[in-house]
Chain A
């Protein structure tokens, strides 16, 4: 069959192109522009080449923030993915429990980030917060303002509280799509509970799990609002993640060049790691 070439179709994508240009491409190019120039204010810019990138890649401050971020994301994934699967497996499949569970699960997702931060900031305070006060009264030396470990624990628990639901809901959607016949066949085949999970439920959840891992990785790697509200990146720099550091640099110190270079490196890393996750998970059991 002969293909008809008709370039008018390009006009159809024009609105999207314009939208994406203004929302993503132009801001991104502005950042690229900043990253190769230097300014001393007064809207005067000088060509700096790759200088800022070199500076960033040799900066201990950058790598420290990067390390913290990677550890944070790793912990988040290690807790939220298994926990989410576990909760989804134990959620009711029919009856009045279903809407109740779904609403309970959706609640944390509906709360704005800064509100979540504020809730936990207050919740963990040792003078007025329920959690902080109780722990203190029970004799635990808990104080997220002074102790880096406590600050980390607080931020991680907060993120688990906020985002595990997303993993749960995605997994649950994957689970309810499994026809009953699979469970019946498994019974007939004498499969154990573990075998049912391993060979029926997990493979059927694979696609949604991929999405869950990608979303949770990207979100946790770009986390800003919640730790900023709770700890402000402290104590010291202990909870200063990449985005917090970036904002400090760009807005606080007005170092546009290095901040732009950092943004680009940051963006490339998120892209690279997402690609790695995607490739690994989609190729996991492709025919050899």
Chain B
């Protein structure tokens, strides 16, 4: 296992990148700690797979440096980097048995057959496929195939990291759960450095200790699931994480107050930003519906089981609020914002509020 440092990595697929637009990865400067479980979360096309392929060496970054445990691996090939990667669609060698599939990476590296056998048996136990060892791999289900893809990484005990590129895309919902918890277990038991790419927030939040949110070729925030939820650093994180996403509305700030049209909202502190482009973000979970506060018109109430999502209009803007399953929508609805959930953004980036 290794610590992975990305040193000002930039990547463009075209030959002569001129502006920022030509870069699939604008600039990534970040470290993945040894033994950490990370999720790379972002919408399609945000550069997360590009970043993953740069780490595994399937791509070589156009700029920047990549270090494994302080050693420069920027120019090394995939094989020399000793990385395991699990792809979106399970990759198995059809004509081989399950056993031979797992033995393949070791045999390719000239490992003596006795060691191959020991490692393969260990791995088969780890991924719960011991009874399938002699079967041809082609007849297996998608989740078993995906386990074999993973197993081919696990079988090499010295891999620097295990990378996952949306590995549960083709797996049935109920198996997704099982596989995800097995992954977590493997991580706890063996302390692999794991980087997991996904566009599914549930997957990211349940898998990872630290979630790296990417947007438009950049990392916009790195944090624990709670941090991403409570303090989104960028309005994108606010929208992208949470269901429904954060309410964001333009406001005019005066000291410790924010003006939204006719309404005045008390802020927990004075933000260190002024002028245009200031927005207030509040998650639906922190919007309180009651008889007092700012008047709203209810547009729609969606009952989604555990709670209700109230879609309302505040000063002509859409706003969502979460209402308990047994709570009722008041006859003359007003909303207040819980100060704990208020975040302010200047040109989409979060600003701190002073006392």
Query: What is A's interface to B at a CB cutoff of 8 Å?
Result: 179, 181-182, 184-185, 187-192, 195, 199-200, 203-204, 285, 287
Contacts and interface: CB of A to CB of B under 8 A. Distances in A.
A188 B83 contact: yes
Contacts of A285: 95, 136
Contact of B108 (A182, A192, A200, A204): A192
Given A181-B87, A181-B91, A285-B136, A188 B108 contact: no
Contacts of A192: 108
Given A187-B58, A190-B79, A181 B88 contact: yes
Given A184-B85, A189-B104, A191-B108, A287 B93 contact: no
Given A181-B91, A184-B87, A185-B87, 16 more contacts: A179-B89, A184-B58, A184-B85, A187-B77, A187-B79, A188-B56, A188-B83, A189-B105, A189-B108, A190-B105, A190-B109, A199-B93, A199-B104, A200-B93, A204-B94, A287-B135
B354 interface: no
Interface string B18-56: 000000000000000000000000000000000001001
Contacts, number: 58
Interface residues of B, number: 27
Given A185-B149, A189-B104, A199 B96 contact: yes
B112 interface: no
20 contacts: A184-B56, A184-B78, A184-B85, A184-B87, A184-B91, A185-B87, A185-B91, A187-B77, A187-B78, A188-B56, A188-B84, A189-B152, A190-B109, A195-B104, A199-B93, A199-B95, A199-B96, A203-B94, A285-B136, A287-B135
Contacts of A199: 93, 95-96, 104
A201 to B, nearest CB: 11
| Max count, chain B CB within 10 A of own CB: residue among A182, A189, A190, A195 | A189
A200 B89 CA distance: 15
B247 to A, nearest CB: 39
Given A181-B89, A195-B108, A188 B79 contact: yes
Interface of B: 53, 56, 58, 77-79, 83-85, 87-89, 91, 93-96, 104-105, 108-109, 135-136, 139, 149, 152-153
Contacts of B88: 181
Contacts of A200: 93
Contacts of A181: 87-89, 91
B13 to A, nearest CB: 13
B152 to A, nearest CB: 6
Instruction: Sort A-B residue pairs by CB-CB distance and give the 6 closest, nearest first.
Output: A185-B91, A190-B108, A181-B87, A189-B105, A199-B93, A187-B78
Contacts of B53: 184
Contacts of B56: 184, 188
Nearest to A202: B95
B21 to A, nearest CB: 23
Residue from B77, B78, B109, B153 having most chain A Cβ neighbours under 10 A: B78
Contacts of B89: 179, 181
A118 B300 CA distance: 80
B133 to A, nearest CB: 14
A281 B164 CA distance: 36
The interface centre, meaning the residue of A188, A189, A199, A200 with most chain B CB atoms within 10 A of its CB, is A188
Contacts of A189: 104-105, 108, 152
A184 B139 CA distance: 22
Contacts of B85: 184-185, 188
Contacts of B153: 188
A203 B91 CA distance: 13
A280 to B, nearest CB: 15
Interface centre among A179, A187, A204 (most CB of B within 10 A): A187
B47 to A, nearest CB: 17
A187 B96 CA distance: 17
B4 to A, nearest CB: 16
Contacts of B136: 285, 287
B79 A287 contact: no
A132 B157 CA distance: 64
Contacts of B152: 185, 189
